[in-house]
Amino acid sequence: MRHTTRWHLSPVAERAFATLLMCLRGSACIYQGEELGLPEADVPFDELQDPYGIEFWPEFKGRDGCRTPMVWEVSNQSGGFSSAARTWLPVPAEHLSHSVSAAENDPLALLHVYRQAIALRHAHAALRTGSQSAMTVQGDVLAFRRTSENETIFCAFNLGDGTGEIVLPPGQWATIGSTLNSANRGADDRAILGPWQTCLALKTG
């Protein structure tokens, strides 16, 4: 199931999850449509293709809800994926408003957040190939460090709807990822994180 639907993510939560994905150790895998915030599609039984969904309907509707075509534009009923009269799986009408063309014209669209998070990962060796410390959890705030030979990045994520607080490790830190809703640390090395806000900081000393 698409993670927006699986975890009932709000738009601001989708942004935090995208940034978290690009800060974790390992290969970053983005399933088509996740960068658009596509929700799980409700595919009617008579249009299912997945044998598991057909066999176990309605207790298990199968995997087709996340395998509908990528929506590129709103010009036709298949979202620009095909010019055919009928695609292998239908494109839900509610997906058309999430199309790439619509996102390109919306500066607040999730697609841009994914691009910014990917660019941040490419810009820092610690995020690309660095080691990762053990994770800590304080309330809804998840935190860890990524470290490469020449840099250390502190990563914290408020994964809740309330306000969270984190204390940065000892050292001097500079906030990075300002376009990714990264919170600034206070003079006492504490950072107050709003709902679904991040705190990304590069160690400078």
Q: 120 pLDDT band (50/70/90 cuts)?
A: very high
Quote the mean pLDDT of the chain.
94
Domain boundaries, the chain: 3-120, 127-203
| The three-state (H, E, C) secondary structure of the chain, written as one string | CCHHHHCCCCHHHHHHHHHHHHHCCCCCCCCCCHHHCCCCCCCCHHHCCCHHHHHHCCCCCCCHHHCCCCCCCCCCCCCCCCCCCCCCCCCCHHHHHHCHHHHHCCCCCHHHHHHHHHHHHHHCHHHHHCEECCCEEECCEEEEEEECCCCEEEEEEECCCCCEEEECCCCCEEECCHHHCECCCCCCCEEEECCCCEEEEEECC
Task: Return the structure tokens found at 122.
Answer: 């490419």
Model pTM score: 0.93
pLDDT(100) > 90:
yes
Domain 127-203 CATH (choose: 3.30.70.1290, 3.10.20.30, 3.30.56.10, 2.60.40.1180): 2.60.40.1180
Q: 31-77, pLDDT tens digit by residue?
A: 999 999 999 999 999 999 999 999 999 999 999 999 999 999 988 88
